[in-house]
């Protein structure tokens, strides 16, 4: 039985496809397709990429992708290449990791419009209350009563009359 890389390469060649054609159709870089067909899995930064690319490439080649993934797991189990690093106990998680994890679980298609609608409603309520408060204020409420203070106290009861122009 051929290995997974040999099977992928043989199937591609049997369908008379070049690596560039396969890369264009699958949107996988040609370097990554070459690495998959050669079994050079150290090119990939994480095991999840190996699984994902092999699954996508196998589906493109019309192979049983689940069987290919199982064979890949068996082939790479002794080397530990497909060991899941995300479950590693040595990784320290902080509060930001906790927050980002839960934010990534939010369905933003539902929550986003609810937040926007709530913000709009609060703005409308506070804006209406501020406008009503502004409209109900007495514009003369802060003014002191106007008292005439004559300069001459002798004629305090008589208001000065402006001179007549000739």
Q: State pLDDT tens for residues 43-74.
A: 888 888 899 999 999 999 999 989 999 998 88
Domain boundaries, the chain: 4-84, 95-136
Q: Please, what CATH class does the domain formed by 4-84 belong to?
A: mainly alpha
Convert the pLDDT of each residue in 71-120 to its tens digit. 988 888 776 555 554 444 456 678 888 888 888 888 889 999 999 999 99
Nearest-angstrom CA–CA distance, 29 and 9: 15
Asked if 23 and 12 touch (Cβ cutoff 8 Å), the reply is: no
């Amino acid at each position: 039985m051929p290995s997974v890389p040999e099977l992928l390469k043989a199937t591609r060649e049997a369908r008379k496809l070049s690596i560039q054609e396969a890369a264009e159709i699958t949107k996988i870089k040609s370097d990554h397709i070459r690495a998959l067909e050669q079994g050079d899995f150290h090119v990939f930064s994480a095991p999840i990429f190996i699984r994902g690319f092999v699954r996508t490439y196998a589906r493109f080649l019309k192979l049983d992708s689940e069987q290919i993934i199982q064979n890949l797991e068996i082939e790479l189990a002794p080397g530990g290449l497909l060991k899941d690093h995300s479950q590693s106990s040595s990784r320290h998680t902080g509060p930001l990791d906790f927050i980002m994890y839960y934010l990534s679980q939010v369905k933003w298609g539902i929550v986003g419009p609810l937040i926007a609608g709530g913000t709009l409603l609060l703005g409308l309520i506070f804006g209406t209350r501020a406008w009503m408060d502004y409209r109900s204020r007495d514009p003369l409420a802060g003014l002191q009563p106007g008292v005439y203070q004559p300069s001459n106290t002798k004629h305090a009861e008589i208001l000065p009359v402006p001179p007549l122009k000739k």
